[in-house]
Amino acid sequence: HTEPYEFNLWKIRIEQSFLMTDYSLWERLARKNELKARGTLLMALPDKHQLKFNIHKDAKTLMEVIKKRFGGNKETKKLQKTLLKQQYKNFIGSSSESLDQIHDRLQKLISQLKILGESLSQEDINLKFLKSLPHE
């Protein structure tokens, strides 16, 4: 009656196999995700910066360096915010644009303002959209 012994031996081998497989599988998935994240960050950079940033081998370091280089300091962010507020104030739709195009342009401007910490009420946004529509 060696069957129970063989079964137990088989069971141990299978469990070990699963443990090893799962571990290497998770490692491969993590590595794949890391490569995908790093690749996505590099693809988003202009061509002239590719070589300079390619030396950073992990996504976390690469993201930190990109933020440092392109994030801007307080003064540039303040200037950017002022320019965006001016664009928002003077925003008007063109008669050659569809309603969707006007809305999308306004939403992009609002999103950029929100990223820089500017808050606009929904009422303000609605009024801005209505006032920006072309008069025909």
On the question of pLDDT at 113 being above 80, the answer is yes
Element (H, E) at 20: helix 3-44
On the question of pLDDT at 97 being above 80, the answer is yes
The residues, ordered by sequence, that sit 6+ positions from 53 with a Cβ below 8 Å of its Cβ are 41, 42, 45, 62, 65, 66
**What pLDDT is recorded for position 130?**
95
To the nearest whole number, what is the mean pLDDT of the chain?
A: 84
* Burial grade of 38 (CB within 10 A; 0-12, 13-18, 19 or more): buried
User: Which residue is associated with the tokens 């069957």?
Assistant: 3
pLDDT band at 21 (very low <50, low <70, confident <90, very high): low
**What pLDDT is recorded for position 1?**
52
Can you give the pTM of this predicted structure?
0.49
**What pLDDT is recorded for position 80?**
82
